[in-house]
Structure 1
């Protein structure tokens, strides 16, 4: 255990009482109102450096002791983590016990803001999460579930993309969050991309750019009215053409300058034009753009040269998580934040060891590798973001209003309408709409999806049962699915990245179901590339396994709606480069 020197915490009883009142009655709490420039002049070096870090803390309330906090941060509660390190922000995750239900999240967020505004420089926090929707959804029901990026791209409506972001932002803000690490502006031109995929709007840079900007407006226009959040467009300079996951390795992208300008740059340019509050860097190497061999997060030519000087971006630059292997392979954890600041980043997200990272930056200032002026530049950007979005003036939320905002009927209805316009029919050999089936069997990769779709089927009259086989079904599971399918009129099988050789058992499952002689409908609940790997009478791309997406699939199965989605990416023919089974823009209807 490291020895830590704690700063004395200044207890402000008025703030503590106000926070308690806010939690129970929703009354306003008045923090000390300061300008960004005024705060910066008063801050110590340690307080400034703390503003440049965002991490998680463990616990459902700000005052909940958790052994994980003691082990990782040397203190007991989330509030103490904030105060010990003078943090600029906190990021919420389910695994850190931060996201239990909307009211709890709001109370936790208020408690953390009280901790921040009652000690040290008394600067409110940026409180964030990754609520991209679709595949990356940190806050589940009762919060409104909306289509992810690729589904929105299939819907072809930038207005729907903007509305989805506005709903998401309004609900996050009601829960006390003021920043969302979304949207992904990556252009997914590699079907084997293991980390982006459905998180991308499209393989078409113009479509991806249009929708990225629409979501920035959706998040931040509502924020301007005190109802939304700041956006963070990611992952610069573009993570869409890799078959390596930067969480576990360092991807190398071979795009040259012309390819980058044509493919990767447009979404970031449009996001900047839409005034995105922040941009997140990628842990990738692009050797034809930067010959340093450093990941973009640590590369001055990328963050300063390309992003700031060429694209003219003046806002906050976040790193992606510094716990990812893509950024940790070449340097010690104490050096990574120093190199990120030298490259042009402002805020370091989730360092592997927070104390080591902060100490590394302070040591770099004291030995001259970083100037305090450089620290001030980044702190000023962070404080001005907080000032411009009203976080300095009042970071608290009214807990009594959470229930009327999060998952309200208007949001849920809008979410279903938006989702209905994204469902994409790729193949239909006169199999759909279903012709009065008495019993429908739902099986496949997703437990959530199978249960939700089976429920939606039963709501329409037919009997239905569900069996989850997972993404890597065993022969025993396949045999169980076959036996159950024989007792039903139709089999619907959900696939998830079945194109990946590691998941080839899913294709065996589909073929085994076909061999029963029962009609088979396949639904790709992640990316649509699965549809090229096995032929069935009907293929649907839903891009998600969430209940709202499964309800849309049910509407198509029973002919209640005409499938309206159009592929936002081509689906290539396996083993035949340059040949598409289903081209960009394809989508059947009736």
Structure 2
């Protein structure tokens, strides 16, 4: 019994100490205070304060507000204020970057002591400046666990602000969001967990301070649990002192101990700290007593906007009361002359001392000295907007958004895979136009898009529900959600009911583009097969959310607030990416976008100007990220139709490595093909011939002694050299069902004549490398015979469909509008028509448009998917297509001791290519010996380099209107473009 009692006592004590440790473990060790305090006795500070009049010392504690969006007369009025009263700083509000920076420069020029220029930049300068990068709201940042990205955002803030001549940011928001109905904080808070809020606030602040900008955390002692907006009235924080210590003020304690430079005092009624009803910003007990003495904050204390209705005083002297309470600076002073006079009068009456004014002034000047205002230089406005939108800043933004996306439900549906068995619809609830979300979904799969407005009719809703019965997966994007809680966050009853019905009737992935709190108004959203919270709605968030749906990257976000019992704070499912494509920008993978675009643009335009092609497309990927995809020119030289990313091209000989080759690799994996077995094992027609004894490996490396090509169409000419009526017809019939082109059909029996001609073709005298189409004519039948599945169906079901390469097809005229297909040659000797949607290669055409050597059409994006699968050693989008062993075998040079550079099916760099000059190289000089790819006669190229993860896709119709145009080769455009990738990698700033 005694031992048991002692054990209980020890247990209680242990629990107490562990609890205390857990409470304060996240608070860093005490610091001496902000760094700028070491400069309060600096020579520059002493010099400036010694030159000031009393009025100027008081004015240093005042901050006035400017609106660069206003007229020149407003600017001139502010210059008069600066020249007359010498305020300590200005707060810049709405404006454009260049105009704002110019105004700041003019204001600084008129000030004897450099002005502190401040901004409300909670999500960056975009909160007040247009045409700049908008970083995520704090609620989204609260979902992120990696401090690196949030710290870097703070550094970005500092760099952008200093470009504009801004040295102070009224951010971060350090309020703990404990009231979902808060009408003013809400999404501006990092969340409801005080430690999470504290850490996030410090990471942002630390980034800014390390970048030389003063952060001012707000709104002390904590605005997170208010029910009113201090802009309009004085909010009540009706909690005990103990609760405020534990929750509301916890982040400010944390920030104080961490060494933050500034804290903003809020206009709040906090009876537990001051029961007089005095606004907290004007309360000596709260500012001087609680913040300064109890918490120990030594840095700058700046009020929230002093013109807000929540801080009115009976005597109209809020500025004076704020300074008396312990604030160092007063923000948004509406009448600085009156405020200075009020303080002077208080000095005369003894309400405030000169020593207090001078100490405050000295702290303000020390902070100015710390940010470098003692050596002030005007902001450089040249290319300012472009510099503020640097892709390096976008990289930070992308990483933040990706890390914030939070998966709350996943019933084995995320990431979306098994594309060949899915019929997908997207439904956008709250918008009626195709936007970034839908466009990005299209890059992954064949998706049909539907829209339902907030105010849709019951009939519209019923019609859509019926149409969705045809789909086995619905991706619902919920948009049109307001930031604040009024009116159920602006959602409509139709919108809420529609999502509920869709979830009830379909397999639905919901992507929620808005404030996480708004989820509580969607009754059965937790029954969706998948649920992603994106927190906000903009182009980049839409694009990245769509990428997450298909597995482009991992999901790791954790909900920073409690929505309701279904979704408590801290939940969030981890989802691992599946190595599908991501779509990004060059800087995210170590390339310079400006240099890359400049090089590729100039070469593409060179080709157009020299009539190498009427138009082209270029796609570049690195490490699984598509970082460049651009279209140039037109479909034809008539310049009637621009080239677009979704246009289909005749891939020509790229068919070899995108149609039969992946099927053959799969059959090697399944041991249905032995690369060293005689070819006649798989093509019995070669039995008994010398050719049939050669191994499959020789055929795939173009050393099976086959002629380069045979013009089969000439076999169908009559004695006069015209198309024989026994072989060709200008209309289809039972005996002429093989379609060669739009107006030409072939006798059904002619295919056997082609195969017999290949069999009987005279062998070349020596076994050596001679590029030949002939063997590839045979592979479709070989594949069909070995699988008992028609060739086209086999590659669609096993390769192109699962990859999401849904545009990849033979005979595209059957599946796509002709105006979406790039035309090739105007054939004036065989088919006598402009070829559009029909294969250019005559041999493939004679086989009905389906051959192993040519015939596949598709987009640049889908061609890239196939080659990315190769780069990833046979794996893509969560599916293993080809074993790594087989992939490695097929992409290696097979006969390194000979002059045959070929891999199995794939092309390889010229022997000793790295020693060549660019004009003689193939492909790029710097392409590694492990790289592989292929080109096509129509002007196409795909090349992959596993040594650095790069992929280069070039599509053109250089044969339009005639194949005699050799300018693409003469100008060496493809090789030069390919080399540009390596040049950009080499010159990327480290």
Q: Secondary structure at the match of 1:314?
A: coil
Q: Which sits farther off after the overlay, 157-166 or 485-494?
A: 485-494
Question: Which of 278, 303, 320 is residue 262 of structure 2 equivalent to?
Answer: 278
Unaligned runs of 5+ in 2: 1-41, 469-473, 576-990
- Using the size of structure 1 for normalisation, the TM-score is 0.79
SS in structure 2 opposite 1:133?
Answer: coil
Q: Distance in 1 between matches of 2:125 and 2:571?
A: 22
CA distance in 2, matches of 1:182, 1:396: 24
The CA distance in 2 between the partners of 1:45 and 1:519, in whole Å, is 72
1:493 aligns with 2:483: no
Are the equivalent residues in 1 in contact too, given 2:44–2:369 (CA < 8 A)?
Answer: yes
Instruction: Go from structure 1 to structure 2 and tell me whether the alpha carbon gap of 1:395 and 1:546 turns closer, same or farther (over 3 Å shift).
Output: farther
TM-score, normalization by structure 2: 0.49
Cα distance between partner residues in 1 of 2:423 and 2:113: 61
How big is the shift at 1:167? 1.0
Contact 2:561 2:570 in 1 (8 A): yes
Name the CA shift for 1:548/1:260 in 2 (closer, same or farther; >3 Å). Answer: same
Contact (CA 8 Å) 1:248, 1:324: kept in 2 or not? yes
CA distance in 2, matches of 1:520, 1:391: 56
Give how far 1:176 is off.
1.3
Match of 1:440 among 426, 431, 434: 426
* Structure 1 residues 419-463: Cα deviation after superposition (integer angstroms, max 9, x where no partner): 101111223456654566665343438x9x984434544565667
For the 8 Å contact 1:319–1:349, the answer to whether it is kept is yes
Q: Label 1:484 to 1:78 Cα distance change in 2 as closer, same or farther (>3 A).
A: farther
Matched, 1:53 2:45: no
Post-superposition offset of 1:476? 5.8
Shift of 1:405: 4.0
Mapped to 2, the partners of 1:408 and 1:135 lie a distance apart of: 14
Aligned partners of 2:63 and 2:330 also within 8 Å: yes
The structure with the larger Rg is 2
Distance 2:309 2:444 in 1: 48
Distance 1:467 1:248 in 2: 38
Query: CA 1:150–1:497 in 2, change beyond 3 Å: closer, same or farther?
Result: closer
Provide the C-alpha distance between the structure 2 equivalents of 1:496 and 1:163, rounded to a whole number of angstroms.
Answer: 28
Q: Structure 2: how far apart are the matches of 1:412 and 1:547?
A: 13
Higher relative contact order (Cα pairs below 8 Å, separated by 6+ residues): 1
Equivalents in 2 of 1:57, 1:85: separation in Å?
A: 15
Distance in 2 separating the partners of 1:363 and 1:127: 28
The residue aligned with 1:178 is 167
Q: Does structure 1 conserve the Cα–Cα contact (< 8 Å) formed by 2:68 and 2:96?
A: no
Cα root mean square deviation, aligned: 3.2
Q: Give the aligned partner of residue 190 of structure 1.
A: 179
Query: Does 1:87 find its partner at 2:82?
Result: no
CA distance 1:439–1:257, change in 2 (3 Å): same
Native 8 Å contact 2:67 2:92 kept in 1? no
Q: Who is 2:547 aligned against?
A: 555
Residue 115 (str. 1) matches residue 110 (str. 2): yes
2:388 to 393, 406, 420: 406
Change (3 A) 1:309 1:450: farther
Where 1:211 maps in the other structure, the secondary structure is helix
2:72 to 62, 65, 78: 65
**By how many angstroms is 1:335 displaced?**
1.2
Asked if the contact 1:231/1:277 (under 8 Å) is kept, the reply is yes
* Distance (whole Å) between structure 2 residues aligned to residue 82 and residue 485 of structure 1: 64
Separation of aligned partners in 1, 2:127 and 2:511: 20
Which structure 1 segments of 5+ residues have no match? 1-32, 70-74, 117-121, 224-228, 573-579
Cα distance, 1:298 vs. partner? Answer: 0.6
Cα distance, 1:351 vs. partner? 2.8
Give deviations 1:186-215, integer Å, cap 9, x for gaps: 111222222112222221222222222211
Secondary structure of 1:155 counterpart: coil
- Aligned equivalents of 2:442 and 2:521: distance in 1? 30
Label 1:84 to 1:440 Cα distance change in 2 as closer, same or farther (>3 A): farther
Partner Cα separation in structure 1 for residue 426 and residue 138 of structure 2: 30
Give matches, 1:175-574, under 5 Å: 175-223=164-212, 229-328=213-312, 330-332=313-315, 334-400=316-382, 402=384, 405-429=387-411, 432-433=414-415, 440-444=426-430, 451-457=435-441, 475=455, 490-494=475-479, 495-496=481-482, 500-501=486-487, 503=489, 505-515=491-501, 522-534=510-522, 535-536=524-525, 537=528, 538-572=530-564
Equivalent pair of 2:177/2:185 in contact (CA under 8 Å): yes
